[in-house]
Amino acid sequence: MSQLALRPGRWAGRLASPAWFQRYGVYAAVAVLLLFNAAFTDHFLTVDNLRTQLVQVAPVVIVALGMALVIGTEGVDLSVGSTMALAAALLPLYLGYGLVPALLVALLAGVVVGVVNGTLVAVVGLQPIVATLALFVGGRGLALVIADGQLKQIANPDLLSLGSGQVAGVPVVVLIAGVLALLVAGIVHRTTFGRQLVAVGGNRAAAGLAGLPVRRVLTGVYVLCGVLAALSGVLATARLTASDPSALGNLMELSAITAVVVGGTPLTGGSVRVLGTVTGALLMQLLRATLVKHDLPDSTAQMAQAAIILVAVYVARERRSR
Amino acid sequence: MAPPEAAAAAPPEDTDPAVPPAVLEAIGVGKRFPGVVALDDVSLTLRQGEIHALVGENGAGKSTLIKVLTGVHRPDSGELRLHGQPVSFARPYEAQQAGVSTIYQEVNLVPLMSVARNIFLGREPKNRLRLIDFPRMHREAAELLAGFGVTADVRRPLGSLGVGTQQMVALARAVSVQARVVVMDEPTSALEPREVETLFRVIGELHSRQIAVLYVSHRMDELYRICDRLTVLRDGRLVHTGDLADLDRMQLVSMMLGREVAEVRRHGVTGFGEGHRADREPVLTATGLSRRHQLDDVALQLHPGEVLGLGGLLGSGRSETAKALAGALPLDSGTVTVAGRRLRRLTSAAAIRAGISLLPEDRKAEGVIPGLSVRENIVLAAMPRLSRAGVVSRARQDRIVEVFMKRLRIKASSPEQKVGELSGGNQQKVLLARWLCLEPRVLLLDEPTRGIDVGAKAEVQALVDELAQEGLAVLLISSDIEELVEGADRLVVLRGGAVAGELTGDRVGEAELLEVLAAHGPGAGGGTSGDTAPDEAAEEEQG
Ligand SMILES: Nc1ncnc2c1ncn2[C@@H]1O[C@H](COP(=O)(O)OP(=O)(O)OP(=O)(O)O)[C@@H](O)[C@H]1O
Ligand SMILES: [Mg+2]
């Protein structure tokens, strides 16, 4: 280990290497973006603005955490946006019994979605993209049926305070997202479930031969993803102060996948980068905010995001071919 | 095969007729990876028309040297010369264009593409419209492979063939390009004896066409059969280069391991000791194992303290039997009983709980998880036992990992190094450690010493011996007949998925085994046909 001579040439080489870039590129990008804004954007690095950015990104972060787990198993979950809608549609029906029962019902919907997805993938053996497509389409339809296609105002004060409340100046949604990120990181790195998840993603045949409960792990991963998506749906609804199953969570699957990929988790499975995922979501959020502040149209923001995704995918590909 | 003098007898147009000109040279090459110096000032000269052995322990740097020679890695220092001119290959493709053709240790073809496409990748025959001329490509591929004793349908995806056949395809590809140098990194480790003969015939042809061959193998007898000169690496350094005829086997082994000749001699060449005394009562009884097209009513018993060898040719159902016992192959019928308790559901998890461990044959596809560390690969199967309430205990893992890394002499920069970065032999040891740390009652070893160096091979064999003495029941599958016969106390011979005979006591011998194999004439097991798919079929059902 003492041979890791830190000659300058070596360092320069390392900075440019795809491996380094996949690992730390996302942090560097966020730092660059913050520096840029500090210099060129008025009122960007203010507490208020940063708080707004964090509140806006929190639902994406929560969904992306679940997505990172699924992608770690070489899968993908397209149904997260629909799951959010489903949770949003169920909430107002049960709020009469209080926040906790309504919340439990919404999360239960996430569990059910996860069980269906997990069963299709792990037991039936469908490709994840196909398996989760079913609920991507069907989930939102079901949500609209449940909600009668209506937007419903939320009046429950407990739920509303979940959306707009603060603890010591930190918005509750941000706090929840932070705690969940820590929790997911703990699961991935410290629990048998987490390590088995990574092993299954790394080499499923080998994991099976080593006696790992492959099906149970896969199902569990989709359930976790579903629950996180449902929770995100609840929080987003609380912030909107209305349940809007037709629009809530639209394109969320893409935002989440983007956050995961940009954060350096390979689509080929076998590794989950939790902090990277959180930072990836943050990067996309800050980028959009920066461009908006400079009065660039939304289409430009989308193109900038596309460019970042391309870079991330390219870097991952480079690394694999070594 | 041509003895060394033959090379010298055909005088090339050089000033010194005894020394043919150098084709490919590495001069003072160095290569480091984070935490390891893989090559340190290594030089190697490959002369025209010679068959040059490159030997050394696992992790000595053989594959790394080959990768540096063929443009996979850039050397950190030193230079390469081709026909005396300095060269640097940016990519393997450039090396190939320059006439250096390589078969890497891990078969690196495209499993989803057809066999023919793989052979002609990058130089497909074109028709008048500049499109790939498929009929011609298929015809030429089939003709080429026929010369290698492979009769598989060239339109099938490569991945559907057995490992050995894939290796032969890689060989055909490497040889069919117009090469001046052919580099082979452990080409025989996945081959059956018959295929090895084909390989040697091909090498003989290369030799007579004055093509230089760089040949890596851990099998001593092969080296002495075909090689003229050799280069020995140890810990990334050059320790010897010269004519093979000047060294005897003991000297060679001692040079590779860096130990005294006397010490090596004392240990012997295979690590197996005397036979064992097995218990009367079997620990494992299998009856009526059947699966369509693969296994036909196989029955066997394993006793504590014995090593049962499983003999047979390619496709005879040895790996399938082992997999079936370990619950990794869905069966049509059959029972497995361990210590008097019949396994109700035959799954990998149930078998492992009952104390059955299987070291699978295909290390890359079914064994290592390349992105995880050595530590995590070792504790993979034992993880639930090393955890409390679902939370892993690093302290307990570290203790076990340390013990096994020492006991098996696993060479890694640290337990946290990724397994994918280890040399092939060390990956195999990691897998062995994964199973041994479960403290199994029954150990099923499918080609346990494949790709392992002589030193480690003897160690693994000695370990198997020791484990059997401690009362473990071991099932041994090996395409190395010497290993099988010396290691086993009893032999069950399979043919076409059924038990063809059993050899016990004094009858456990090479001649007797060959007799049983031959007694049935040219049966299902003959030849390297493409229909070695049973293994693959099994893998597909793993998912
Ligand atoms: N890509 C890599 N990253 C880090 N270390 C590596 C890498 N490739 C090889 N090494 C290290 O370099 C050393 C030499 O490995 P190499 O594969 O050349 O051994 P080998 O002689 O071919 O062994 P074997 O007989 O087991 O195939 C080993 O210690 C290995 O761990
Ligand atoms: Mg090697």
The torsion region of residue B204 among left (phi > 0), alpha (psi -120 to 50) and beta comes to alpha
Alpha-carbon distance of A25 to A16, in angstroms, equals 10
Least CB-CB distance to A195: which of B35, B349, B383?
B383
B21-110+162-267 and B280-355+441-543, same CATH topology: yes
Q: In chain A, positions 151-180, which contact chain B (CB-CB < 8 Å)?
A: none
pLDDT digits (tens, 9 = 90+) for A264-317: 898 889 999 999 999 999 999 999 899 888 888 888 888 888 888 888 878 776
**Residue range B21-110+162-267, CATH number:** 3.40.50.300
pLDDT digits (tens, 9 = 90+) for A251-261: 999 999 999 99
Name the amino acid, one letter, at B286.
A
pLDDT over 90, % of chain B: 38
- Looking at every residue in chain A, the average pLDDT score rounds to 89
Q: Which two tokens stand for residue B474?
A: 């071991």
Q: Which domains, ranges and CATH numbers included, belong to chain A?
A: 26-33+43-317 (1.10.3470)
How many residues does this entry show for chain B?
Answer: 543
Q: Answer yes or no: are the C-beta atoms of B43 and B27 closer than 8 Å.
A: yes
CA-wise closest residue to A192 among B213, B337, B390: B390
ipTM at complex level: 0.84
Q: Which two tokens stand for residue A145?
A: 């049926």
Tokens 């059956």, residue located: B192
Q: Answer yes or no: are the C-beta atoms of B326 and B381 closer than 8 Å.
A: no
Ranges of residues in chain B with a pLDDT under 70 are 1-18, 106-107, 261-279, 519-543
CATH architecture assigned to B280-355+441-543: 3-Layer(aba) Sandwich (3.40)
Taking the domains of chain B in order of start, what are their residue ranges? 21-110+162-267, 280-355+441-543, 367-439
How many residues does this entry show for chain A?
Answer: 322
B63 lines ligand 1 (CB under 6 A): yes
Q: Could you tell me whether strands A170-171 and A242-243 are parallel, antiparallel, or unpaired per DSSP bridges?
A: unpaired
Q: What is the pLDDT of residue B275?
A: 59
Q: Answer yes or no: are the C-beta atoms of B512 and A173 closer than 8 Å.
A: no
The CA B72 to ligand 1 mean position distance, Å, reads: 13
Chain B: closest CA distance from residue A315 (Å): 17
The number of C-beta contacts closer than 8 angstroms across A and B is 91
Beta-carbon separation of A213 and B348 below 8 A: no
For the residues A315-321, what does the mean pLDDT come to? 58
Q: What is the pLDDT of residue A16?
A: 55
Q: What is the pLDDT of residue B233?
A: 93
Task: Tell me if chain A has a CB within 8 Å of the CB of B395.
Answer: no
Q: Which two tokens stand for residue B82?
A: 């081709």
pLDDT over threshold 90, residue A6:
no
Q: What is the pLDDT of residue B257?
A: 80
The CA B24 to ligand 1 mean position distance, Å, reads: 22
Alpha-carbon distance of B528 to B33, in angstroms, equals 39
SS3 track for A177-234: HHHHHHHHHHHHHHEHHHHHHHHHHHCHHHHHHCCCCHHHHHHHHHHHHHHHHHHHHH
B58 lines ligand 1 (CB under 6 A): yes
- What residues in A contact B380, CB-CB < 8 Å? 199, 206-207, 210, 212
Task: Tell me if chain A has a CB within 8 Å of the CB of B420.
Answer: no
